[in-house]
Structure 1
Amino acid sequence: MASPSEPSIDHWSIPLTALNINVRKRLSLFLNPTNTVASDWMTIAEMMGFSYLEIKNYEKRENPTKSILDDWQARCAEANVGKFLSILEEADRKDILSELKNSIDDNCRMYLEKQKEREEPPVQVPEVDSWVSRNSESQAITIRDSPLGPSPETFDAFICYCQSDFPFVDEMIRQLEQTEYSLKLCVFDRDVLPGTCVWTITGELIERRCKRMVVVISDDYLESDACDFQTKFALSLCPGARSKRLIPVVYKPMKRPFPSILRFLTVCDYTRPCTQAWFWIRLAKALSLP
């Protein structure tokens, strides 16, 4: 329950992507064990609308709770925190609600704060305000943006990657920007001006400035909080991948399982020698679509 100083949270308006890795891990500890007394992950999956065959396949996963949460939020437009809490309530898992409610509420508040940062420009005192309008100033977030320009810089694709995968991103730049394709990629370390709020700028770029997002998948990607946020934010903009907004790319063999949150999407795979000759052509074509 919220304290008198804190406004109540409308959980039904907050997407399930707001729940971070730590909360999901703790949910898995409660729901993964097969339980003959209390409802486990299989009951939750059935209440989420998964079929019998799908649930049987999830039994093979190392972490079935994580898999059903990722897949539910990717394919269901109604996958929000309020709906999830109501499922736990209906499944009589009050132990989970009692133990994790505060952590879930904290995640929701963080999500709302990030949303507010994206919607509202930072307030500046008059003494340090320039003569340029605050709205125009908020547009200057990339190196080619100009506060006096007619429109902000836009891109064909936002590249979601972790630092260890930058050599492949560099190759992507050469293959897609410096060839006949002439695509325009948004590479955060290269194109974004320093000194701005990372979450605000990332949301602005993915939602308003870039037509698509290329997700460079690797073992290190799975450990990156920034990549996790970027991927889930982009998925929340296109439930069920209806707009073909996300394009997963695998460029080297992985030791860990492919992220289940993206398993519904067609992958551009560079690790298969028989299709490497077509890799850049397919990727360039996908990014060139309107």
Structure 2
Amino acid sequence: MACCKSDSAVDLGTIPLIALNVRVRKKLGLYLNPRNMVAADWMAVAEVMGFNYLEIKNYEASKNPTQMALEGWQARSTDASVGKLLSILAEVEREDIVEDLRPLIDEDVRKYCESQKKKAEPPIQVDEVDSCFPRTPERIGITLEDDPEGSPELFDAFICYCHSDFEFVHEMIRELEQTQYKLKLCVFDRDVLPGSCVWTITSELIEKRCKRMVVVISDEYLDSNACDFQTKFALSLSPGARNKRLIPVVYKSMTKPFPSILRFLTICDYTRPCTQAWFWTRLAKALSLP
């Protein structure tokens, strides 16, 4: 039938009903939902679709029986296509609907075909980009103990901090690296060599070189663009904190609200005198986990 071909010669019989968006389905309901003694309504369409009497009576109780019939037909019939629907409307002599909705239907079909074409296209892959460990010069020899000819330097944790909190970071180094815990921390000002792009190197260290990240929370932290980037990047690598990748630490009282993006994480709090004696043991244990 002529109504089964769009202007671009697409065979509408091959286009599934899912291609029709809400706008077209609502307009079909406006035409077919009202009981009509002169023209065929949704019941006539449902009969041609293959629904029996009990099924049609069940759909009748719905506010939008046309929509229910379309969804039921789409779910159970292998030939539920845009072309078949147009054929059914022509069969029940509702060419008026076809004529009115055809431009909208053709537009939906065009968008559907474009989306399917994009899905079928292979992703663009630059030869130099792969899933292996980065080999670009910018990411080789970025820390003090990196061996450009061997394995990269790895750490137990990346420390996210502001310069105003560096005194506490020094204490963290003493308690976690120079005691029985023997942890290896990545402290940017101490361990990273100068000359590379800060954002590139930071993301490389957090994602590839460090098992976890300790975030030193303070009022100054909340105003730091660098800390904001590091925290959000680490959270993106561990949605829902599934692998306990990020550990917030509070070491002094704050006047500003605690960052909302970290509220769902368990905090290691140094400000509570009753738990201060366990602070370093708890933090070291969390950083020592596989």
TM-score by length of 2: 0.53
2:214 aligns with 214
Q: What residue number does 2:54 align with?
A: none
Distance verdict in 2 for CA 1:137–1:237, change over 3 Å? closer
Structure 2 counterpart of 1:195? 195
Q: Within 2, Cα distance between the matches of 1:254 and 1:285?
A: 26
Change (3 A) 1:223 1:135: closer
Residues 248 and 268, structure 1, Cα contact 8 Å, conserved in 2:
yes
For 1:54-93, what aligned pairs fall within 5 Å after superposition?
Answer: none
- Deviations 1:193-212, CA, capped at 9 Å, x for gaps: 00000000000000000000
Provide the C-alpha distance between the structure 2 equivalents of 1:201 and 1:262, rounded to a whole number of angstroms. 23
CA distance in 1, matches of 2:204, 2:174: 25
Q: CA deviation at 1:136?
A: 6.4
Corresponding residue number in structure 1 for 2:172: 172
Matches within 5 A, 1:260-275: 260-275=260-275
Match of 1:143 in 2: 144
Task: State the match for 1:255 in structure 2.
Answer: 255
Partner-residue secondary structure (3-state), 1:248:
strand
**Secondary structure of the residue that 1:230 maps to in structure 2?**
helix
Q: Distance in 1 between matches of 2:172 and 2:280?
A: 8
What is the CA deviation profile of residues 18-38 of structure 1, one whole-angstrom value per residue up to 9, with x for unaligned ones? xxxxxxxxxxxxxxxxxxxxx
Q: Which runs of 5+ in 1 are unaligned?
A: 1-115, 121-133
3-state SS of the aligned residue for 1:273?
Answer: coil
Deviation, 1:146, is 1.7
Whether the 8 Å contact between 2:270 and 2:276 is mirrored in structure 1 is: yes
Q: 1:238 to 1:147 in 2, by over 3 A?
A: same
Letter of the 1:285 counterpart? K
Distance 1:222 1:137, change over 3 A: closer
Matched residue pairs, number?
A: 160
Letter in 1 for 2:140: Q
> Partners of 1:254 and 1:138 in 2: how far apart?
36
In 2, are the aligned partners of 1:213 and 1:245 still within 8 Å (CA)? yes
Q: What's the offset of the Cα at 1:138?
A: 3.1
Distance 1:137 1:230 in 2: 19
Partner of 1:236: 236
Q: Distance in 2 between matches of 1:137 and 1:221?
A: 27
Matched residue, 1:183: 183
Q: Which amino acid aligns with 2:282?
A: R
Instruction: After superposition, give the CA deviation of every residue in 1:81-115 in whole Å (9 maximum; x if it has no partner).
Output: xxxxxxxxxxxxxxxxxxxxxxxxxxxxxxxxxxx
**Runs of 4+, deviation exceeding 4 Å:** 134-137
Q: How does 1:92-111 map to 2 (within 5 A)?
A: none
Residues 154-177 of structure 1, C-alpha deviation per residue, up to 9 Å, x if partnerless?
000000000000000000000000
Higher normalized contact order (CA 8 Å, seq sep 6+, divided by chain length):
1
1:158 aligns to 2:170 (yes or no): no
Match of 1:130 in 2: none
The CA distance in 2 between the partners of 1:226 and 1:277, in whole Å, is 31
What amino acid sits opposite 1:144 in the alignment?
Answer: E
C-alpha distance in structure 2 between counterparts of 1:286 and 1:137, whole Å:
31
**Letter in structure 2 aligned against 1:140:** G
Relative to structure 1, the CA distance from residue 183 to residue 195 in structure 2 (aligned partners, 3 Å threshold; closer, same or farther) is: same
What is the CA–CA distance in structure 1 between the aligned matches of 2:138 and 2:204, rounded to whole Å?
14
Is the 1:137–1:147 Cα contact (8 Å) retained in structure 2? no
- The Cα offsets for residues 49-108 of structure 1, whole Å up to 9 and x where unpaired, read as xxxxxxxxxxxxxxxxxxxxxxxxxxxxxxxxxxxxxxxxxxxxxxxxxxxxxxxxxxxx
Q: SS in structure 2 opposite 1:193?
A: coil
